[in-house]
Amino acid sequence: MKKFLVLGAVLSVLCIVSPVMAQEAAAHETATGGFFVIPGGDAGLAIGVSLGAGLIVIGAAKGIGNIGSSAVESIARQPEAGGRIFTSMLLSAALIEGFTFFALLIPFLR
């Protein structure tokens, strides 16, 4: 399980960092000769933003996964309460998603 979390964290960082690093790199590459060029020279900031966003997404996925597994288990034990459990599950998942969207804005603010 830990291997999958580490792999997910690394992949999310790579997926988020590459577009950030690629922006305007072509224009600055010829002038400076650098490979990872961030406008303003904030490469550490870009890596920190990517790590923060990756951790936020991993936490949200873990929370929604726990909600889904608990809901399925509860419905399997008590099928007649499936509608109420499903409604509660959707409400909880929506609240987590809303919190995640707001939390993803924070790393991108300077």
Domain that holds residue 17: 2-108
The per-residue pLDDT for range 19-66, each reduced to its tens digit, is 555 555 555 554 554 454 555 556 777 788 888 888 889 999 999 999
Q: What pLDDT is attached to residue 104?
A: 85
State the total domains in the chain: 1
**What distance in Å separates the CA atoms of residue 106 and residue 19, rounded to the nearest whole number?**
18
The predicted model scores a pTM of 0.58
| CATH code for the domain in which residue 57 is found | 1.20.20.10
Instruction: For residue range 60-108, list pLDDT tens digits in order.
Output: 999 999 999 999 999 999 999 999 999 999 999 999 999 998 888 887 7
DSSP string, 3-49: HHHHHHHHHHHHHHHHHHHHTTHHHHHHHH--SS--TTS-HHHHHHH
pLDDT given for residue 6 in this prediction: 64
